[in-house]
Copies of this chain bind each other. A is one copy, B any other.
Amino acid sequence: MRLICLPILLFAAGAIYAQQPSIASRLGYPDNARLLIIHADDLGMAHSENQASIIGLENSPVNSASIMVPCPWFPEIAAYARSNKQADLGLHLTLNSEWKHYKWGPVSSRDAVASLLNKQGYFYATVDSTVQKAKPGEVELELRNQVKKAYEAGIDVTHLDAHMRAALSTPEFIAAYMRVGKEFGLPLLLPRRVLEYDHPEINALFDENTVLMDGIHTVVPEDYRKGPEKYYDSLMKNLPPGLHSLQIHLAYDNDEMQAITVDHPDWGASWRQADFDYFTSDAFRQLLEAEDIILVTYRELRDKISRAE
């Protein structure tokens, strides 16, 4: 019986989602609006990252950001969140510790999430190792514990996303990530292509509260080396209609950030300083206005879609 019923259920889940009105219309915009979240990643990872991201949030079009709960500087950004309730701050759910000389581990008890950790008790440096070794149940436990710890720290969490996209790297991890989002009524950074996986666990989690991104954008090393401003300018000028998230990394090119990113120029200190300079520039603000791009926050998505009744 199950084998016969399953495809019908899956089809039904996908179909239900496809029949929903567009995100744009549900937020009150025309269907063909170009909606954008300009989103700073990696808050909590370093003091330099916290300080530059706060400046970005307060003084530039950057309008959302996410926090790495397991990281050493989490308490600094949690204190900021408590006293700046308007800030659109979510969680950059973290399953990796990628830098050479500066490390973190889980918020869960290590024994409970042993499959996520290397011999030193840190998260694996690479997503590949996590994919090979992590048990989905332990991924889900750690993701849930990061959310709980953020709430206990007094953060009004607006969304969840996935550091290094680790939580988006297998269907089982995606299902864990979606279950945690649903449990707390939070929108996720979730690409539309997850519909194509046609995976029963994932399909069963879709409903009218699910938010899918039409585009998730970030500058990659090849584009960065050609000049990140070219990539960003072109993205703004050619952004298609729909809901988009642009993932950026704001920090200062200082001693701390240079030491953290040592031997890793991609996403390194000068890269993050370049992002800071671009997104806090007058030129970027003017471009955004000229292109008639509508900035939306995860708080709107959370309150109007993820928590709609």
Contacts and interface: CB of A to CB of B under 8 A. Distances in A.
A242 interface: no
Given A107-B121, A109-B110, A110-B110, A73 B101 contact: yes
Nearest to A99: B75
Contacts of A109: 109-112
A18 B152 CA distance: 53
A21 to B, nearest CB: 41
B110 A76 contact: no
Contacts of A79: 101
Interface stretch (A1-9, A178-186, A189-197, A252-260): A252-260
B75 A103 contact: yes
B47 A75 contact: no
A75 B100 CA distance: 8
A149 interface: yes
A128 to B, nearest CB: 20
A104 interface: yes
A258 to B, nearest CB: 9
Contact of A119 (B75, B101, B112, B152): B152
A121 B152 CA distance: 11
Interface string A80-113: 0000000000000000000011111001111110
Contacts of A119: 152
Contacts of A104: 72
A234 interface: no
Residue in A51, A109, A149, A152 with the greatest tally of chain B CB atoms within 10 Å: A109
A293 interface: no
9 contacts: A51-B255, A51-B259, A75-B103, A76-B102, A79-B101, A108-B110, A109-B109, A109-B112, A111-B112
What are the 10 A-B residue pairs with the smallest beta carbon separation, nearest first? A76-B101, A109-B110, A109-B111, A47-B259, A72-B72, A256-B256, A75-B101, A109-B109, A75-B103, A72-B102
